Amino acid sequence: MAILRFNALKETLHRTPVKIQEEERRSDLFGRNVFNKKAMRQYLTKESYDSLINVIDKGHKIDRSLADNISTGMKEWAISKGATNYTHWFQPLTGSTAEKHDAFFDTYGDGEAMERFSGSQLVQQEPDASSLPHGGIRNTFEARGYTAWDPSSPAFVWGPTLCIPTIFVSYTGEALDYKTPLLRSVSALDKAATDVVRYFDKKVNKVITTLGWEQEYFLVDSALASTRPDLMMSGRTLLGHSPAKGQQLDDHYFGSIPSRVLSYMRDLERECMLLGIPVKTRHNEVAPNQFELAPIFEEVNLAVDHNSLLMDVMDKVAERHHFKVLFHEKPFQGVNGSGKHNNWSLATDTGSNLLSPGKTPMKNMRFLTFFINTIKAFYENEEIIRATIASASNDHRLGANEAPPAVMSVFIGSQLTKVLNELEKVTDGKLSPQEKTELKLNVVGKIPEILLDNTDRNRTSPFAFTGNKFELRAVGSTANCADPMTVLNAIVAKQLIEFKTEVDGLISDKKMKKDDAIFNVLREYIKSSNKIRFEGDGYGEAWEIEAKKRGLSNYRNTPEALKAKISKKAIDLFAELNIMNEREVKARYEIEIEDYSKHIQIEGRVLGDIARNHIIPTAIKYQNVLIKNVKGLKEIYGSEFKNQAKQQMNLIETISEHIEQINEKVEQMIEERKKANALKDPTKMAFAYCDQVKPYFDDIRYHCDKLELLVDNEIWPMTKYRELLFTK
């Protein structure tokens, strides 16, 4: 292994940046490999084009009689782009993407063949996907899962394949993917938000959920990564001593991008342009060899598809540049982990951002309505939000130095806090003309100038308002954005429905004017949700004590957090909005709780193997060198040798102690793993892995990392942190 390590280092040090030719403008490249409106106009009949646009823009159902015309046009376009195959591209509950390729190929009489792609093949397929997670929705031996075309997300060509975004459902119609509930939540929020926004603008007919994600990641040379079994098998380093220099100098953050990395980024961005992924920002992140890219905002369904596609593209482009992309939330101990910040907002079909203040009191009233309702929704459902960002990998990040804490809270800034404090003082009941004037001029009317200088940010807040959007910062870097966005859409939709009911009730029962009714309801929402608002640093025991006083949850691990997903509150929420039925909700819980156990099980097995097969033999090998040295000193100095060999003998004893502890802890971990595996209940198994197995990881790592400092660097088998993080 030591030879492998040094060969990898030698190979890495001789790398040169891959040359990237960018001869065309990005605006010319953008969407070239996407079956967008421009391509549709060229390859579809007018009737087919108009029908498909109605489906995309207005949600109408596809006319099956036109499906063959659309599929023929799509096939001809794809072949012109070099495609030979097509696939229904979907997002099962594995968290990644799935695809089965079929050729544009069919035979007919006399041994003749032709390229063929029918409307039925476009609209629906039945992949043999019985081994994908289903949470008990169907029997494992039944392969009946159906993929159905999602026209709202355009088809694209990636390599030699036409990829058709689809949903994935069971024979009985239950969702087996992330996209289906997301689309249902988008529809629920559209209806609820449209009903409310018409208090302020009768012209609005649709509200669109928008998302701008930020993807953080690490890059490690592929040769170095291949020397680390833990990185290859679990996505993170399970052992490794922190280098003398980490991120304490803050010299990597926003610094000059290394040449090899910049070449990778440019290549990646070109591929993104062709696929219509509107990436715009790139920069160094805080930790060494950590980076980030972010796109322009898009409609949430398309944004989720693009993020899932991006992660696939990043891996494939990395191969060309001899990099390994690490998406794990905490691949390296002692330096910042990675998140996937989800910037969420609402926009109308008339072009207005509902979370962006306007120039008039009326527009600011609209802003405050959606702003306050979102905060109230977050407060009422903070446990469900916490559950939706829970995973074995994100547990390493939540609550760590750089990341949002496990306690959910909302940050809005000092200026908006003052606005809400003023609104709390609104008179209960009808406002006098003077009160209404003062309110609109002195509070609501001043929001634009307040926000103009509202540049404070809280980088530790799980849910922060950042000018014209809310940023859900707690989402993990490996996560599919669809799950947290589905929950956020759902809780806000339910809250807006309740808001409209209360306002309409005051108007009809109390004979209040619309503005009075809105102010009264918003005032009560501000009072009832102020416990979730927190402007300070989210780290440390002081905040946890304060959060407990406020009655906020503090789930420190995934098994604890996931319980909220199958609470009556969560089940009723999704059922009421027709997003998921009880069976679908419980299936997701079962999949995620089992996924947690499997991740910890894999890590435990990998750590045990490395400790026994790599670390202990190397330590013994070095110990033998020391023993030989001591024997030589004894031959030279006789009975006086102990004076000269004192340090070597101490070192031999210290190494023996660490070896003994590693062996003992690994044995104990294996026994606890056996006990956990014997449990039939998935929840009990997850808690056993969390509470009984996982604690051994730190103990085993401690002794392995101590040996790294003692054993001769020339024979140490594992590529070290300083090499992984600082070899460019």
> Residue ranges per domain, the chain?
31-176, 186-580, 595-725
Instruction: Tell me how far apart the alpha carbons of residues 581 and 566 are, in angstroms, rounded to a whole number.
Output: 11
* Kind and range of the H or E run holding 40: helix 37-43
Range of weakest confidence among 205-219, 266-280, 424-438, 626-640:
424-438
Mean pLDDT of 525-543: 84
Phi, psi of 232 (to 5 degrees): -70, -35
Closest CA to 40 of 51, 27, 26, 30: 51
Superfamily of domain 31-176: Glutamine synthetase, N-terminal domain (3.10.20.70)
Mean pLDDT of 23-29: 88
Q: Which residue has the higher pLDDT, 402 or 13?
A: 13
Instruction: Tell me how far apart the alpha carbons of residues 43 and 49 are, in angstroms, rounded to a whole number.
Output: 9
Per-residue pLDDT of 601-642, as tens digits, reads 999 999 999 999 999 999 999 999 999 998 888 888 887 888
* Kind and range of the H or E run holding 541: helix 540-550
Q: Which residue has the higher pLDDT, 444 or 490?
A: 490
pLDDT at residue 251 in the model: 62
pLDDT band at residue 455 under the 50/70/90 scheme: very low
pLDDT band at residue 575 under the 50/70/90 scheme: very high
pLDDT at residue 45 in the model: 92
Q: 128 pLDDT exceeds 80?
A: no
Mean pLDDT of 590-597: 96
Instruction: Tell me how far apart the alpha carbons of residues 247 and 196 are, in angstroms, rounded to a whole number.
Output: 47
pLDDT at residue 377 in the model: 98
- Judge whether 711 and 617 are in contact, CB under 8 Å: no
Superfamily of domain 186-580: Glutamine synthetase/guanido kinase, catalytic domain (3.30.590.10)
Mean pLDDT of 472-482: 95
pLDDT at residue 435 in the model: 76
pLDDT at residue 171 in the model: 79
pLDDT at residue 431 in the model: 80
Q: List the alpha helices (DSSP H) in 64-153.
A: 64-80, 119-123
Of 68-72, 99-103, 302-306, 724-728, which one has max mean pLDDT? 302-306
The radius of gyration of the chain from alpha carbons, rounded to an integer in Å, stands at 29
Which residues pair with residue 342 across a beta bridge?
213, 472
pLDDT at residue 409 in the model: 93
Mean pLDDT of 272-276: 97
Helix crossing, 179-197 with 482-509: angle to 10°?
30
pLDDT at residue 445 in the model: 81
pLDDT at residue 452 in the model: 59
pLDDT at residue 567 in the model: 97
Range of weakest confidence among 73-87, 336-350, 358-372, 572-586:
358-372
Q: 236 pLDDT exceeds 70?
A: yes
Mean pLDDT of 9-29: 89
Range of weakest confidence among 12-26, 371-385, 497-511:
12-26
pLDDT at residue 694 in the model: 97
CATH of 595-725 among 1.20.120.1560, 3.90.850.10, 1.10.10.10, 3.20.20.60:
1.20.120.1560
pLDDT band at residue 323 under the 50/70/90 scheme: very high
Range of weakest confidence among 11-20, 128-137, 255-264, 301-310:
128-137
Mean pLDDT of 190-198: 98
Average pLDDT, whole number, for the chain?
A: 91
Instruction: Tell me how far apart the alpha carbons of residues 563 and 555 are, in angstroms, rounded to a whole number.
Output: 10
Amino acid present at 645? A
